[in-house]
Amino acid sequence: MKKVITYGTFDLLHYGHINLLKRAKELGDYLIVCLSTDEFNTIKGKKSFFSYEERKIILEAIKYVDEIIPEKNWDQKINDIIKYGIDVFVIGDDWKGKFDYLKEQGVEVVYLKRTPEISSTKIKTYIKKLKN
């Protein structure tokens, strides 16, 4: 079985997220999503609209996702690759080159093109404008 892993916050889930998850799943047989915890988001300077548990419930409903694990820090990726027997590491191309070091673990590193016309930041900005 070919295992794929991806990482993210997945707040304000939109069709760009679904596109990423679908394309990630197409790269293997089993997709693990490493979901940023609320505590880790605080460290990253992010504040999610939905809590970790709420975002997890939403992701569990997506047919492409086989398993969800918590992302607690930047440095856990190598341990996750080893622990879960990962074959392919997938992330959006806005991180291009950042995770090439993971190839040393024997995994394929794939940077998927983002869906250009949508993002959680764009949604938050639009909602903010509506409120004003």
Query: Would you please indicate which residues are annotated as catalytic (active-site) residues?
Result: 44, 46
* Closest of 21, 2, 4 to residue 92, by C-alpha: 21
Kind of pairing, strands 108-112 and 88-92?
parallel
Q: ∠ CA(102), CA(106), CA(111), 5° rounding? A: 50
3, two tokens: 């295992």
- Quickly count helices (H) and strands (E) in the chain: 5, 5
Other Cβ atoms less than 10 A from the Cβ of 41: the count is: 17
Residue given tokens 């794939």 in the structure block = 110
